[in-house]
Amino acid sequence: MTKRFLSLVAVLALVAVACGGNTEGTTTTGSGNGASSTEAAETTTTAAPEAVLLSYALAAGDEYHYEVGLHQHIELQASGDASLMGDEEVPGDASVDLAGTATFTHAVSDGPEPGTYEIHITGDFTDVSVSGLVDGEPVDSGETPEFAALEPIDVTVTVDDQGNLILGDEEAAGDPLAGMFGDLGALGEGAPTPGLDLGQFIGPPFSDEEVAVGDTWSEEIETPGLGDDPVVTSITSTVTGVDEVDGTEVLVIESNTSTSLIEFDLGQFFAGMFGAFLPEGATEEEEAEVEEMLAQLQFLITVDGSTADSTTLFDPEAGLAKESSTTAFTNIAMDMNIPDEETGEMVGFEMTMTLDQDITYKLISGPSA
């Protein structure tokens, strides 16, 4: 009655759209106004600079290269009919670590509006070490399990000079397929979850007021999701001190990002699709069969509130993030019960997956690098 077109990446793509956590084309409250003093300690003994208005110095034609380090830890448990996930190989139990280094290119061009810029981000982890167990068996260190594969990054994001990411009209309207992706680690391109997307702009959004060491600013962003409620993301950043990178004084900015719990049931969507298969003039028996199937139909996806903590070393003179490190965590659960395409019998599949991720970025070349 239905097709097994629901691959793992396609399903999680829907999750990624609902998890849109950055400042992309969203409604903002508390948008960084009024930096407030805190008791955060300086990280070095370097003299604290005076308050400055932070912004990114971007120009069309600029190109930056970042060395990106990645470590992922994935825990996955699944039961039921894994064929519902399409061609993806989904184990019953897995605990896997991946680590690798790559060079990412950030190419800048003018954005659609004055004061905005498009950043074309490309990179590929071609040499990744893998360790862990899949269904109780050690994984081959040179072969990444399909469910944890890292696809090449090739994405364009639009930002303003304050580091706010901006969606185009189609994404801002809540296009449910805007975040299609082929990378479990990245969790989406159209509306990335902070800290989990490798193809992301480097550095936090800034306050629109001058800030000094000890100052904090916050933003709360609402992004359309697949459910009735919007996804709420909160970003709080603090200038905690000053440091040096290759002899250049930089500000140390600590940021915490949290995204609200997301829970939605796609059963309604699939119910409408399956209901359309009922032929015109169907008998009462056929209608009863469809009604019974729809009553059992379930496709529930839950994404726990995700968190990310990052440290950015920002050069206020050059308007560049020289280095950045992020630790992020998220948990995803799925509960499916849909008809088999051949027999029509209801078959189920359940999965929980947690992803811990550490990412580091170091600017290695570019204007004012």
Nearest to 236 by CA among 251, 256, 252, 221: 256
Structure tokens at 76: 């996955």
Q: Does residue 328 belong to any structural domain of this protein? A: yes
Q: Does residue 133 belong to any structural domain of this protein? A: yes
Nearest to 337 by CA among 345, 328, 327, 325: 345
User: How far apart are the C-alpha atoms of 219 and 216, rounded to whole Å?
Assistant: 11
Kindly list the distances between the CA atom of residue 130 and the CA atoms of 1, 69, 88, 149, 198, in Å, as whole numbers in the listed order: 39, 14, 18, 10, 18
Structure tokens at 107: 């190419």
Q: What is the DSSP string of 264-308?
A: EETHHHHHHHHHTTSPTT--HHHHHHHHHHHHH-EEEEEEPPPEE
* Number of compact structural domains in the chain: 1
Please report the pLDDT score of residue 65 as a whole number: 96
User: How far apart are the C-alpha atoms of 66 and 53, rounded to whole Å?
Assistant: 25
Q: Does residue 229 belong to any structural domain of this protein? A: yes
Q: Which domain holds residue 298?
A: 8-365
User: How far apart are the C-alpha atoms of 127 and 96, rounded to whole Å?
Assistant: 16
User: How far apart are the C-alpha atoms of 318 and 305, rounded to whole Å?
Assistant: 35
Could you tell me the pTM of the whole model? 0.74
Each of the 369 residues of the chain gets a pLDDT tens digit; together they read: 333 333 333 334 333 333 433 443 333 333 344 443 333 334 444 555 689 999 999 999 999 999 999 999 999 999 988 777 665 678 889 999 999 999 999 999 999 999 999 999 999 998 899 999 999 999 987 788 888 888 899 999 999 999 987 865 444 433 333 332 233 333 333 334 445 677 788 989 999 999 999 999 998 877 766 666 777 888 999 999 999 999 999 999 999 988 888 777 777 666 666 666 666 777 778 777 777 777 777 788 888 878 899 999 999 999 999 999 999 988 889 888 877 767 767 888 889 999 999 999 999 998 877
Q: Does residue 19 belong to any structural domain of this protein? A: yes
Task: State phi, psi for 189 to the nearest 5 degrees.
Answer: -110, -40
User: Are the CB atoms for 56 and 115 separated by under 8 Å?
Assistant: no
User: Are the CB atoms for 159 and 121 separated by under 8 Å?
Assistant: no
Please report the pLDDT score of residue 289 as a whole number: 75
Q: Does residue 71 belong to any structural domain of this protein? A: yes
Q: What is the DSSP string of 113-125?
A: STTEEEEEEEE--
Angle formed by the axes of helices 267-275 and 284-296, nearest 10°: 160
Q: Does residue 94 belong to any structural domain of this protein? A: yes
Q: Does residue 243 belong to any structural domain of this protein? A: yes
Q: Does residue 2 belong to any structural domain of this protein? A: no
Please report the pLDDT score of residue 314 as a whole number: 97
